[in-house]
Structure 1
């Protein structure tokens, strides 16, 4: 069994994936657009380029997402995507990249439970926790 987060975006899934490519070294594996669906799944002309299903891998881990129809979109809440990075300097770099254009809820820094930990919301509204575990 495998568990993967599935994120919903407000018509900016492709831009978010390209951002994650740059910020996290992610690899876009699939961007299936609404226009790629069968004729019976026709979408409005302004939504044809939106993402019906997307998949990226980040260091071998899978994250999936799509653009939600505007009347179904809700601001993400009640979860965070957690990123565990062994090297605290790399973790801090990834944290800073993710928080660029977003907001920081807890600055990245050493804690009693980790070499480094921080919480942010990226520019697309997705909450993240970046964690560099203590050895032991």
Structure 2
């Protein structure tokens, strides 16, 4: 089974835009930032959180670094980094999610998302946070 490279996903306590802009200055590349405002996530968040970063991605060649602001999650040094796996099929994401969740804690079950993917999060039995994403093919 060939799996895409792991992508670090950083979580910040309101400083995501500043941090990712700094990392772009250091590493170069293209930085894309999406705020909570204007997305379905805004319906579930207080108005003061609408300018928070929902998702940021910095790319430069093979470098991919993703990040977001935590929202309501309490940030500590141990939970600021997750590993993200971008799966290539519905079968792959289901199998990997099931395997990694054994003995762990599912924090967000696999579900369809507004960005057109199947996505889920868990903490494995060793305390490592994982994100699994499968971008579904666009409807023809």
TM-score normalised by length of structure 1: 0.49
TM-score normalised by length of structure 2: 0.47
